[in-house]
A and B are shown apart, each in its own frame.
Chain A
Amino acid sequence: MSHLDQVLLLSVVLTNFVVLGTTRLSTCIRAVAMQGFLLGVLPLVLHPTAGLTIIGLSIGTVIIKALILPWFLLWAIREASVRREVEPLIGYITSLLLGAVAVAMAFAIAGRLPLPGQEPALLVPVAMSTLIIGLLVLTTRAKAITQVVGYLMLENGIYTFGLTLAERVPLLVELGVLLDVFVGVFVMGIVVFHINREFDSISSAHLTELKD
């Protein structure tokens, strides 16, 4: 087993922490784009001798997760001119700590799961921590965009988990990518709707108050 896949998987967890810790939406989106890119490259590293299916999967993932969706999200925050997550339900420090707990839990549980045992080390714990942290972001952030980012992370976790089976059940993983596209389009509608609604509520009357 190469070291490169471990570096990729650990970087995925680090991008999770970036999303948890940052207040800036653009950093959030870039982190999730980075995560998409890392996960896109991952199948090529895991199965270097693989055929066309894996290469297609890899290219498809990179295009959708690292280019199209982030581009769309960046466009959305530019259009709605929201720059920061204002009021997360759980503060940044607490969510970072919860994220650390989630990672510890994922690593503890992953060792005990009854798996076929052919998956590379780190793949399952990383998948599970991405999944849990995605869920955390999805449920505790107030802005629609951050919730979408959380949803994407959740999906990234599922995708990573699917990679354990990539050689045997390529169709399943491809369906996962297709689901991505569907989610992308689906989420677009929600985002634009939410942002528009939020945007309306920001009236200029609020701008007369001085805030720290």
Chain B
Amino acid sequence: MNWMPLVSLALVLLLAPLLPGVATRTRALLTGRRGAPVQQLYSDLAKLWRKGVVYSTTTTWIFRLAPVAATVTAILAACLLPLDGREAVVSFSGDLIAFASLLALARFTLVLAGLDTGSSFEGMGASREVTFASFAEPALFLCFIALVRATGSLSLTGMLGGPLSDAWPAAAPSLLMVAAALFAVLLAENSRVPVDDPATHLELTMVHEVIVLDHSGPDLALILYGSAVKLALFGALVVGVLLPRAHLPAAASLAVLAAGLLAVAALVGVVESVMARLRLDRVPQFLVAASALAFFAVVLLLW
């Protein structure tokens, strides 16, 4: 029995709440503020976990299901990624579609829960969230198609595990473009700055924050933890494409992963401090540009 996939999964699940903190801290430092401590999200989670839950009388079981689903799907998706650079906990041919569907399922239940509250404000947030997601997903899939084409494997383990390091010399430009497109998808999927601002609580501009507005206590903690894991997953995807680690010893591979995740989080912070948020109707344009980039990578690989 090879324990490395499980160990790396545990590492990522433990490390995940650190990443939003690193991003926020980087942003604060670059804009001349001190900022919240890096481990802020751990404290928030602990605090929320001890609190009680308030449920509106208009909500149904869907509202209670969503936070659990958000966390569980994120952890299941994490099981599909080869986090240690070699193999995933679970892997089968075509699991990249399962990966995308699990993330979509998380969003679907969260959006349903938002609609379930019966508030028109949450309905608006749900509509925006789904609109952006429908532009982010083609980009994600085009990235996957490029990776499939570069490595000839239909599973995430096959793509990011072994053969990617062999594909690098021949397909370096395409893989760089894929990494850039994945980073754009990361920003959109995790509601970071050019698309959404995690710090805003101004009604008109909130997107993702809107649909989780009515959750409280442990429910909110689960949602926050789920989104932190999701950020870690996309970070691991970007790191996996940029730094194939199949040839490294296990410990070194984990160290590279941890360092890479922190670097991606810091990069998110840098993007947040140098870029203004895009106007709502410009967001699809940003994501279509990411898709075009990924598409160009596919064309290059097909040529």
Cα(A7)–Cα(B285), bound, Å: 25
Contact B285 A103, beta carbon cutoff 8 Å: no
By a CB distance below 8 angstroms, the chain A residues around B293 are 14, 17
By a CB distance below 8 angstroms, the chain B residues around A103 are 295-296, 299
- Given A6-B173, A7-B173, A125:B303 Cβ within 8 A: yes
By a CB distance below 8 angstroms, the chain B residues around A125 are 303
Cα(A201)–Cα(B300), bound, Å: 45
Contact A107 B299, beta carbon cutoff 8 Å: yes
| B112 on the A face (CB < 8 A) | no
Q: 8 Å CB contacts to B: which residues of A71-123?
A: 92-93, 96-97, 99-100, 103-104, 107, 111
Contact B295 A104, beta carbon cutoff 8 Å: yes
* A-B pairs with beta carbons under 8 Å apart, 29 shown: A3-B172, A6-B173, A7-B173, A14-B293, A14-B296, A17-B289, A17-B292, A17-B293, A21-B285, A21-B288, A21-B292, A23-B282, A92-B285, A92-B288, A93-B285, A93-B288, A96-B285, A96-B288, A96-B289, A96-B292, A99-B292, A100-B295, A100-B296, A103-B295, A103-B296, A103-B299, A107-B299, A107-B303, A111-B303
Contacts from A to B (Cβ < 8 Å): 3, 6-7, 10, 13-14, 17, 21, 23, 92-93, 96-97, 99-100, 103-104, 107, 111, 125
Contact B299 A104, beta carbon cutoff 8 Å: yes
Chain B residue at minimum C-beta to C-beta distance from A98: B292
Cα(A125)–Cα(B299), bound, Å: 11
Cα(A6)–Cα(B291), bound, Å: 21
Instruction: Beyond the given A17-B292, A103-B299, please list 4 additional residue pairs across the A-B interface where CB-CB is below 8 A.
Output: A13-B296, A21-B292, A96-B285, A96-B288
